[in-house]
Amino acid sequence: MKLSNIGALGALGALVGLTLAGCGTTSIPTTTIDISDRGAFQPSLRVGWNISKVPGAPSDPQSSHGIEIGAMRTSGDDTQNLATGQSPVIFGGTTFNPVQTLQYEADLAYYDVTYRFRYFFGDGSFGIEALAGLAHAILDLTVSSATQRASQNLSSTGIQLGIGGIWRLRPGTSLQARYTWFGSSYYYEDTTVSSVEFSAAQALGRNLVVRGGYAYTRVYSDREDTTSDIKVILSGPSLRLELQF
């Protein structure tokens, strides 16, 4: 009887071990969704308040502490070929197997509330800035083929950090370079959004600024094992309207 019990326990242990081993090998290799659109127009709106008092017009950049609230929206599209031997793209509960060409449509909305610190050196021609705050990113993505289609809305909230440099050519006219990074982590995905912007700004009054230039935005979402990761690069002309107080 004792030997029978030991044998039964051994069989049960082996069964549990095989089950756990099977659970550990259920991840499915997938192909990353890779989107790149180099002609994506990136319009945005920002409202800023200087916390510290500044001489002159708020639309003229100068040493200060401030708060910025921003909103940006852009979109792009691309195609991706799944060749023989490649892993499938799995998205929105749909599996896209090779061999075929996939069509991608991506819409990105980005909102942030940021603390901004600026410091100008010497005669005030050149300054640097540092940013820290919270942001919310929303990516609407559609994947389609000749016979299948899947759409999903992906959103995440996280922290935003940034640095920048400003060259003031004259009061109200400046050139600016700014880099921002956003990070968000959940139990099933990690998302980052990074952006580089080069722009020229012109004040149109005491509180109004128009800014135009070039922006490069990269979104990467590292998703669960059974779903394809997502990489989206949208770059192109940018236009921003700013209200400064």
Bridge partners of residue 176, in order along the sequence: 166, 199
How many CB atoms sit inside 10 A of residue 86's CB? 15
**Alpha carbon distance 202, 208 (integer Å):** 9
**Alpha carbon distance 163, 233 (integer Å):** 20
Higher-confidence residue of 164 and 21: namely: 164
**Alpha carbon distance 200, 213 (integer Å):** 6
Sequence-distant (6+) residues with CB within 8 A of 136 are 110, 111, 112, 155, 156, 157
Least confident range from 73-82, 114-123, 155-164, 222-231: namely 222-231
Which pLDDT belongs to residue 25?
Answer: 42
Residue 18 phi/psi, 5° resolution? -65, -35
Which pLDDT belongs to residue 10?
Answer: 44
By the 8 A CB rule, do 228 and 30 touch?
yes
Which pLDDT belongs to residue 27?
Answer: 64
Which pLDDT belongs to residue 15?
Answer: 40
pTM of the model: 0.86
Which pLDDT belongs to residue 187?
Answer: 74
Domain count, the chain: 1
pLDDT tops 80 at residue 65: yes
By the 8 A CB rule, do 207 and 213 touch?
no
Residue 15 phi/psi, 5° resolution? -65, -45
pLDDT one-digit tens code per residue, 69-90: 999 999 999 999 999 999 999 9
User: For the domain that residue 152 is a member of, what is the CATH number?
Assistant: 2.40.128
Residue 205 phi/psi, 5° resolution? 160, -170
pLDDT one-digit tens code per residue, 156-179: 999 999 999 999 999 999 999 999
Which pLDDT belongs to residue 225?
Answer: 75
Higher-confidence residue of 160 and 8: namely: 160
Percent of the chain with pLDDT over 70: 89
pLDDT tops 60 at residue 19: no
For 172: left if phi > 0, alpha if psi spans -120 to 50, otherwise beta; the answer is left
Percent of the chain with pLDDT over 90: 82
pLDDT tops 80 at residue 104: yes
Q: State which residues form the domain around 177.
A: 2-244
**Alpha carbon distance 198, 179 (integer Å):** 9
